[in-house]
C-alpha cells in the first residue's frame, strides 16, 4: 500500500469519526430538550388571586359600586357574562375568566378610559387589555342579529288605548333620528367629520321602537352628512332599513314626507317646551304636539345610551375609526340587552332635541304622506273639539 492510499484511508476514517460524533451530540441535545422540565409559573397563582380580590373588593363589591364602574348592577353583569358562555362567544383562559374580560371592556366603554388606565388598575399588560377588548367587542358584535331586529307589526302597547295617540298612530313602527358621536379621524379627513359641532363626529342614524329598543342602526357616516342622505343610504343597502307595507316611522322635518316616514308640519311649533301654558290653536299644532310627545322616545333612547356608555359622549375616542364604528353598534346591543333583562338604571327621560337638517322630497314622494298627515291632523282636531263640546 503506497503512501497516498494510506493518507486517503486516514482522512476518510477521520471524517467518518467526526460525523458519528456530531450525530451523537445532536441526539443527546434533543434528548436533553425533550426531558427538560417546563417553566413553572408558581408566582402567577398569587398574582391571579390578587387580581380577583381587587375585582371583588373594588368592582363587584355591591350593586352601587358595580353600576358606577361597569354601568350595570352586579346580578345583571354576571348574567351578561353568562350570555357569552351560553353562545360560546367567550371562554375562560388560564389566567383570565370571562368576567374579567367583560369587566375590562365595560370599564373602558363606560368611562372612555385609556388602555394604560385599565392595565394599571387591573394589573395587566397593555397588550393583554387590547387583545381582550377586541375579543369582547367581536363577541358583542356577533349578537347583533339577536338584539337589533325589526320591530313587531302589532300596535305598540305604548300607543294602544292612549287617547292622545290611538287610533291616529296605531300603524307607527317607532321613530327615526340621527345623533352625533365623537370621532377621531386622520387630519386629512377631519373637514368631512366636522359639521355643526366644533369637534369631529360620525353621524349615527337609528330607529327605535316604543320600548326604546334600537331596531336599526347605521353608523360610520361623516358628521357633515345630512340626515336625509344617511336615510337614503339605509334604504338602498341590501340588508338595510325596511318599512313594512302600511307601516311608518315618525321622523323630524329634515327627513321629508314620503311613504313610510311621517314628519311634522314644517313652520309650526313642535318643541314640547314651546307650548308651556299656551294651548294648541289648530289641527297642525295639535298634530305636531302629539307627534313630538311620541317621537321623543328616540331622544330618550339616545340619552340613556350616552349616559351609560361615556365612550359615545365624552372626549374624543382613541381607537382606530373602524373600531369606533364597531363600538357604537356594540353599545346599542348592550342597551337593548339591558332593556330585555329588566329595568334600566340609566333610562330616565331626556327632553333634548337637535336642530334638523333640510331635505325636500319629490312631489310624488311627498303627496302620499302629506295627505295622510293632514288627514290625521283633521281627525285629531275634530275628535278634540267633539270631546270638549
Distance in angstroms (rounded) separating the CA atoms of residues 58 and 44: 21
Residues with Cβ within 8 Å of 130's Cβ and at least 6 positions away in sequence, in order, are: 115
pLDDT at position 146 is: 95
Distance between CA atoms of 303 and 156, rounded to whole angstroms?
21
Mean pLDDT for 174-198 is 89
Tell me how far apart the alpha carbons of residues 282 and 292 are, in angstroms, rounded to a whole number. Answer: 16
305/285 Cα distance (integer angstroms): 30
- pLDDT tens digits for range 297-334: 999 999 999 999 999 987 778 889 999 999 999 999 99
The more confidently predicted of residues 106 and 194 is 106
Q: Left, alpha or beta for 347 (phi > 0: left; psi -120 to 50: alpha)?
A: beta
Q: How many residues does the chain have?
A: 389
Q: Is the residue at 122 inside a domain?
A: yes
Look up the domain containing 134 and give its range: 42-142
Which residue in 383, 337, 377 sits closest to 146, CA to CA? 337
User: What is the secondary structure of 27-47 as a DSSP string?
Assistant: HHHHHHHHHSPPPP-HHHHHH
Instruction: Give the rounded percent of residues in the chain with a pLDDT score beyond 70.
Output: 80
Asked whether residue 3 is assigned to any structural domain, the reply reads: no
pLDDT-based confidence at 349, cuts 50/70/90?
Answer: very low
On whether both 110 and 213 belong to a single domain, the answer is no
pLDDT confidence band for 345 (50 / 70 / 90): low
Task: Report yes or no on 21 lying in a domain.
Answer: no
10, part of any domain: no
Q: Indicate if 304 and 232 belong to the same structural domain.
A: yes
112: exposed, middle or buried (Cβ count in 10 Å: 0-12, 13-18, 19+): middle
Residue 170 has pLDDT above 80, yes or no: yes
CA–CA distance, 292 with 295 (Å, rounded to integer): 5
Whether residue 11 is contained in a domain is answered as: no
- pLDDT of amino acid 315: 74
pLDDT, mean of residues 207-233: 93
pLDDT above 50 (res 205): yes
Number of H helices and number of E strands within the chain? 13, 5
Cα(288)–Cα(155) distance, rounded to whole angstroms?
Answer: 20
Position with higher pLDDT, 43 vs 89: 89
Residues 87 and 227 in one domain: no
Cβ neighbours for 134, distance < 8 A, ≥ 6 positions apart: 323
Cell of 381: 282636531
Confidence of residue 364 (pLDDT cuts 50, 70, 90): low
- Position 53 scores a pLDDT of 81
In angstroms, rounded to a whole number, what is the distance separating the alpha carbons of residues 248 and 156? 13
Final residue in a domain of this structure, among 142, 166, 193: 142
Could you tell me if 128 and 268 lie in one domain? no
Do 311 and 334 belong together in one domain?
yes
| 191 and 110 housed in the same domain | no
Residue 205 and residue 120 in one domain: no
Q: Which of 117, 142, 167 is the last residue of a domain?
A: 142
DSSP one-letter code for 349? -
Determine how many CB atoms are found less than 10 A away from the CB of residue 266. 15
User: To the nearest whole percent, how much of the chain has pLDDT over 90?
Assistant: 45
In a domain, 188, yes or no: yes
Distance CA 266, CA 360 (A): 11
Both 298 and 344 in a single domain? yes
Q: Per the domain annotation, does 89 fall within a domain?
A: yes
* Nearest alpha-carbon partner for 251 in 129, 359, 149, 157: 359
pLDDT of residue 285: 87
Q: Is residue 193 part of a domain?
A: yes
Give the pLDDT confidence score for residue 348 in this predicted structure.
47
Mean confidence (pLDDT) of the chain: 83
Total domains, the chain: 2
More confident residue, 31 or 47: 47
Is residue 250 located within the same domain as residue 364? yes
Q: Which of 142, 173, 205 is the last residue of a domain?
A: 142
Whether residue 90 is found in the same domain as residue 160: no
Residue 287, C-alpha cell as written in the block: 298634530
Give the C-alpha separation, 154 to 249, whole Å.
14
Identify the helix (H) or strand (E) that includes residue 59. Answer: none
Based on the domain organization, do 134 and 219 belong to the same domain? no
Judge if 160 and 200 occupy the same domain. yes
Amino acid at each position: 500500500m503506497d503512501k497516498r492510499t494510506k493518507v486517503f484511508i486516514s482522512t476518510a476514517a477521520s471524517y467518518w469519526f467526526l460525523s458519528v460524533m456530531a450525530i451523537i451530540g445532536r441526539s443527546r441535545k434533543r434528548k436533553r430538550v425533550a426531558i427538560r422540565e417546563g417553566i413553572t409559573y408558581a408566582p402567577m397563582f398569587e398574582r391571579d388571586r390578587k387580581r380577583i380580590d381587587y375585582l371583588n373588593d373594588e368592582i363587584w363589591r355591591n350593586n352601587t359600586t358595580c353600576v358606577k364602574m361597569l354601568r350595570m348592577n352586579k346580578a345583571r353583569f354576571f348574567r351578561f357574562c353568562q350570555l357569552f358562555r351560553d353562545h360560546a362567544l367567550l371562554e375562560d383562559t388560564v389566567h383570565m375568566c370571562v368576567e374579567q374580560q367583560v369587566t375590562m371592556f365595560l370599564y373602558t366603554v363606560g368611562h372612555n378610559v385609556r388602555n394604560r388606565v385599565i392595565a394599571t388598575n387591573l394589573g395587566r399588560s397593555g397588550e393583554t387589555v387590547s387583545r381582550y377588548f377586541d375579543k369582547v367587542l367581536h363577541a358583542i358584535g356577533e349578537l347583533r342579529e339577536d338584539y337589533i331586529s325589526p320591530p313587531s307589526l302589532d300596535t305598540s302597547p305604548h300607543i294602544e288605548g292612549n287617547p292622545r295617540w290611538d287610533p291616529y298612530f296605531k300603524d307607527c313602527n317607532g321613530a327615526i333620528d340621527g345623533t352625533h358621536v365623537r370621532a377621531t379621524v386622520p387630519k386629512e379627513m377631519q373637514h368631512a367629520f366636522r359639521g355643526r359641532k366644533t369637534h369631529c363626529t360620525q353621524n349615527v342614524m337609528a330607529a327605535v321602537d316604543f320600548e326604546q329598543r334600537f331596531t336599526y342602526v347605521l353608523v360610520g357616516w361623516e358628521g357633515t352628512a345630512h340626515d336625509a342622505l344617511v336615510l337614503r343610504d339605509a334604504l338602498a343597502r341590501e340588508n338595510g332599513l325596511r318599512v313594512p307595507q302600511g307601516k311608518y316611522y315618525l321622523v323630524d322635518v329634515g327627513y321629508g314626507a314620503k311613504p313610510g316616514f311621517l314628519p311634522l308640519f314644517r313652520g309650526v311649533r313642535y318643541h314640547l317646551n314651546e307650548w308651556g301654558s299656551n294651548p294648541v290653536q289648530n289641527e297642525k299644532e295639535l298634530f305636531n304636539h302629539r307627534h313630538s310627545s311620541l317621537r321623543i322616545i328616540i331622544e330618550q333612547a339616545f340619552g340613556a345610551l350616552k349616559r351609560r356608555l361615556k365612550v359615545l359622549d365624552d372626549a374624543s375616542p382613541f381607537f382606530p375609526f373602524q373600531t369606533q364604528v364597531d363600538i357604537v353598534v356594540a353599545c346599542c346591543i348592550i342597551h337593548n340587552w339591558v332593556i330585555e333583562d329588566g329595568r334600566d338604571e340609566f333610562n330616565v327621560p331626556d327632553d333634548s332635541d337637535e336642530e334638523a337638517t333640510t331635505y325636500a322630497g319629490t312631489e310624488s314622494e311627498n303627496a302620499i304622506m302629506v295627505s295622510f298627515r293632514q288627514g290625521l291632523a283633521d281627525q285629531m282636531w275634530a275628535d278634540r273639539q267633539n270631546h270638549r263640546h
